[in-house]
A and B are shown apart, each in its own frame.
Chain A
């Protein structure tokens, strides 16, 4: 017998994906944090030029972008969970979720602009 499925657009994404993504991005961000601490202790940048030089290295830019994209995805899963727990009216929840996604995409573009602009 097939059970009827009532899926809500603002509900959970019914699977392992989000749960796994949150953990993978967490490990990624922790690794980047470790890398950043090591780089800052080794190079000890103090002036604007030194910081600029550190963030001009290509692999550093790529690692930073991976970190920030991971952060956005991680934040989305987390905020979505929080909204599902505390905001119950569907229209309000959907509006807040859309706001979060738009804000996170905006942050990502802002980050790209800072590093490559």
Chain B
């Protein structure tokens, strides 16, 4: 048994072929179902109103996302300029008493100290967020509440340990 279902869409009236199977009506197999669904979506959400992309700057990011992106940013900065600066510093530290003295006088500069403190924070954040990542790999802290708590801990301990390192260095 065949019947027609009339649907009113913005583009006009669409007739959809239905077929009776024992005790219920189904959409006839000849109907292109994905096309039909697309047609309905088009009707419900006109092209102009449909979101096409997500503007990340307009969304309030959850804490785990902030920890994650800081992990990535700190990683990139530890790679460049981090590694070359680390090697340069290590070379000055070990080469000769003169280079050691010049390293000391360079590090005494307030701007340099600030830079070193920032680098310390990047390192500590990367380390702590990495430990959190390893715990997640081992399936610890997978629940939403735990994941939020651990990201809070990473941020708080990152700040505390950076402050302590700052006090210890100077």
What is A's interface to B at a CB cutoff of 8 Å? 23, 26-27, 30, 33, 47-49, 51-52, 55, 71, 75, 78-79, 82, 104, 107, 110-111, 114-115
Nearest Cβ distance between residue B136 and chain A, in whole angstroms?
11
- Inside 8 A of A82's CB, which chain B residues have their CB? 72, 75-76
Of the candidates A30, A51, A55, which one forms a contact with B131 in the assembled complex, judged by CB atoms under 8 Å apart? A30
- Kindly state the separation between the CA atoms of A115 and B91 in the bound complex, as whole angstroms: 9
Contacting pair B87 A78 (CB below 8 A): no
* Contact of A48 with B83 at beta-carbon distance under 8 Å, contacts A23-B134, A82-B72 already known: no
CB–CB B87/A110 < 8 A: yes
Please indicate the chain B residues that have their CB under 8 angstroms from the CB of A26 in the complex.
130, 134
Residue of A at shortest CB range from B83? A107
The answer to whether B87 touches A107 (Cβ under 8 A) is: yes
Say yes or no: is B127 at the interface (Cβ < 8 Å to chain A).
yes
Residues of B within 8 A of A (CB): 72, 75-76, 78-79, 83-84, 87, 90-91, 93-97, 100-101, 127, 130-131, 134, 137
Chain B neighbourhood of A114, CB < 8 A: 87, 90-91, 94-95
- 10 closest A-B pairs by beta carbon, nearest first, are A48-B100, A48-B97, A75-B79, A78-B75, A114-B91, A26-B130, A110-B87, A107-B83, A51-B93, A114-B90
CB of A58, distance to nearest CB on chain B (Å)? 15
Using Cβ atoms and an 8 Å threshold, which residues of chain B touch A107?
A: 83-84, 87
> What's the Cα separation between A12 and B168 when bound, in Å?
42
Cβ of B72 to closest chain A Cβ, rounded Å: 7
* Min C-beta distance of A29 to chain B, whole Å: 8
Cβ contact within 8 Å between A23 and B137: yes
Cβ contacts A to B, 16 pairs, < 8 Å: A23-B134, A23-B137, A26-B134, A30-B127, A30-B130, A30-B131, A47-B97, A51-B94, A55-B94, A71-B83, A78-B76, A78-B79, A79-B79, A82-B76, A107-B87, A115-B94
